[in-house]
Amino acid sequence: MKVLGLIGSPRVDGNTTKLVNAILEGAAENGAEVRAYNLSKLDINPCEGCTNCRTEGKCVIDDDMQQLYEEVQAADAVVLGSPLYMWEITAQTKLFVDRLVALLNPDLSSRLKVPKKLVLAYTQGAPDPDAFKHYFAHLEGLFSFMNFDVKGSIVAAGTYTPEDILQQPEILAQAKEIGKNM
Ligand SMILES: Cc1cc2nc3c(=O)[nH]c(=O)nc-3n(C[C@H](O)[C@H](O)[C@H](O)COP(=O)(O)O)c2cc1C
């Protein structure tokens, strides 16, 4: 089983990386082959809205997203992590999400070759983990529509400094468990 981790925080050693890594660690302990990328380190350009992907079957922008399309297609499971920035996923994460439009056919059916499990992982400064639950449900809806098999969302709340999540061993343990069960 191949698990792909995608981290949308520009702080490469921050809380989101630690949260996603805990999930990947759990998956690896159960024999999965894991791989992770930080989206902010990749050259991912905004979707140009050319809609060529509808007819061509693939995105025409020549950047690192081409590799990620292959990685997503090759994976059995994806872990997408983002901090909350201004009540939403980061711009780096949104660039990736917008470009997933190339995985839709003209009739909006999915081009995903096999169903892929998906776990969404968030970190946020707000201490209440339910503060953005409607937004997280909205994103789960989007990925279900994209034909991902959404396994759920995990939220580490109250994280500000890059090390804050280390004070929440229960969340890291929960993340590891999610990875083991993938
Ligand atoms: C520009 C910016 C905007 C943020 N907006 C929010 C927000 O809307 N809600 C929230 O709870 N936390 C917000 N935060 C806090 C981060 O989500 C939080 O510190 C997160 O753990 C950062 O992840 P990282 O450690 O992986 O970089 C914001 C932080 C920054 C830098």
**What's the domain count of the chain?**
1
**Is 91 touching ligand 1 by the criterion CB < 6 Å?**
no
| Residues with Cβ within 8 Å of residue 35, at least 6 apart in sequence | 2, 3, 4, 5, 71
Print the domain residue range for 15. 2-180
**Is 84 touching ligand 1 by the criterion CB < 6 Å?**
yes
| Residues with Cβ within 8 Å of residue 174, at least 6 apart in sequence | 154
Residue 72: CATH number of its domain: 3.40.50.360
* pLDDT tens per residue, range 160-180: 999 999 999 999 999 999 999
**Is 92 touching ligand 1 by the criterion CB < 6 Å?**
no
Protein residue whose Cα sits closest to atom 30 of ligand 1: 85
Q: How many helices (H) and strands (E) does the chain have?
A: 6, 6
| Residues with Cβ within 8 Å of residue 34, at least 6 apart in sequence | 2, 3, 4, 5, 24, 27, 28
CA distances from 96 to 93, 128, 169 (A): 5, 27, 29
CA distances from 11 to 78, 103, 160, 173 (A): 20, 28, 11, 22
* pLDDT tens per residue, range 70-98: 999 999 999 999 999 999 999 999 999 99
In this prediction, residue 32 carries a pLDDT of: 98
From the CA of 165, give the closest atom in ligand 1. 21
3-state secondary structure of 116: strand
In this prediction, residue 38 carries a pLDDT of: 98
From the CA of 16, give the closest atom in ligand 1. 26
Question: Mean of the pLDDT values across residues 39-46?
Answer: 98
3-state secondary structure of 4: strand
> Mean pLDDT for the chain?
97
Bin 47: left if φ > 0, else alpha if -120 < ψ < 50, else beta: beta
* pLDDT tens per residue, range 106-160: 999 999 988 899 999 999 999 999 999 999 999 999 999 999 999 999 999 999 9
